[in-house]
Amino acid sequence: MTNTASITALKSWLIGQGVRAAPRQDLLNGFCAELVNHGVPLIRMQLAQRALHPEFGGIGFSWTRAEGISFEYFRRPDQTREAWIHSPFYAMISSGEAEMCADLTTVEVERFPIFTDLRAQGGTSYFAHWQPIGGEGHKAYKHDSLYREGVLASWTLDGDPREAEGHRAIIRACFETLVVVLSASGNREMGRELLKVYLGRDAGERVLSGEIQRGSSQLIDAVICLFDLRGFTALSEQLPGTVMVDLLNDYFGHVVEIIQAHGGNILKFMGDGVMAMFNLGTLEEDAKAALAAVRALAPRMEAVNAARRAARLPLADYTLALHAGEILYGNIGAPNRLDFTVIGPTVNLTARIADMHRTVERSVILSEHVRRAAGEDNGSLVSVGRYMLRGVAEPIELFTLWTKEASAGTA
């Protein structure tokens, strides 16, 4: 097959994958296999794209003829600077050149450490190129802008280096099509991840599935959890804002990890507090999961405070309230600004219960509804009395978790 026929076939294949919304990993794995099928002696491909992720600067895909495709997230360039500045990609972005070619059978193999590794793997030719996306061209990019929107890719061949240009021509001709299809797929994946990060796992999935109409909601049974850092107001008056942000991130990171590990969903952060929901199928499952999370949280918070105390960082304690019942879960807000959240008497009563920590002198409080729902899992729960709560017509019995860790603190 001629180069022209191969290019046409490969572009058509890429467009077909884009129409089918193939995931990036499958798309790249298939494209590398297609290149080999069209006579390109490809032994290795590496490709990088920005990740648009709170923790990571980009995502890297690696394909080899022997092992297929793999991927990993990597830190931003300033976090992996030593390896980054000695890479061909860094050299290309620094110079503003759109591509780089190298014959690995000549002294060019000494130009970068990676070239020596590729030669040892049987590589004879190296080809790299990159394509920014958006208004800025190659020259406008800074060399530490790996996380800017665009695609960087390298291709290592093991054929006769004298024939490499013909193979490069095929790859080069398909690259823009690959970038467009890959970017569309990447944007879908990034959108999905960002919705989960900013809305929560469950709410993000619901929005992606089409639950986006203002007022659309459903009644569900769930356990509502309100977590608050105690003493935060006093700390905020004493400490710089950046220190307070670091404190919140530290504690919230552990709280979110434990809640999610037990099947809970984070609904929102409210200053120094977290609202979460357990909705696993039945109220019994929800209550048991919530109580398991509370039990796991106490020793974790002790460990966090021990580590912060050793590092001479400011400390905070916490309070937590649980209540179970029917809630309205859905889209609330204005036409151009919606929130996927929960409302209803159950949510309001959870807030009233959270106000009782000082009265009952316990850090963890839960309602009789959670105790009933937990069934056999309520042996470690003890009553702290019946109370008339503001805005509630009938008295409600409150309980605390009787463990050394959870009951040692007083509010």
Q: Give the separation between CA 111 and CA 88, rounded to whole angstroms.
A: 9
CA distance 192 to 200: 11
Tokens of 63: 């394909």
Per-residue pLDDT tens over the stretch 56-90: 667 889 999 999 999 887 765 544 566 778 889 88
Tokens of 32: 């590398």
Taking the mean position of all CA atoms in its chain, how far away is CA 147?
Answer: 16
pLDDT digits (tens, 9 = 90+) for 223-257: 999 999 998 888 888 889 899 999 999 999 999 99
The architecture in CATH of the region 211-408 reads 2-Layer Sandwich (3.30)
- pLDDT tens track for 341-352: 888 999 999 999
Q: Domain limits of the chain?
A: 3-198, 211-408
Nearest to 318 by CA among 410, 224, 225: 410
Task: State which amino acid sits at residue 35.
Answer: L
Same fold: 3-198 with 211-408: no
Whose CA is closest to 302, among 269, 258, 245?
A: 258
For 281-301, the pLDDT digits (tens) are 899 999 999 999 999 999 999
Confidence of residue 401 (pLDDT cuts 50, 70, 90): confident
- Classify strands 264-270 and 273-278 as parallel, antiparallel or unpaired: antiparallel
The predicted model gives 107-118 an average pLDDT of 92
- Look at residue 354 in the predicted model and tell me its pLDDT: 93
What is the assigned CATH class of domain 3-198?
alpha beta
Query: Is 70 exceeded by the pLDDT of residue 144?
Result: no
pTM strictly above 0.85: no
Q: How far apart are CA 293 and CA 300, in angstroms?
A: 10
Span 10-28, pLDDT tens digits:
999 999 999 998 999 999 9
pLDDT tens-digit series, residues 326-369: 998 888 888 888 788 888 999 999 999 999 998 999 999 999 99
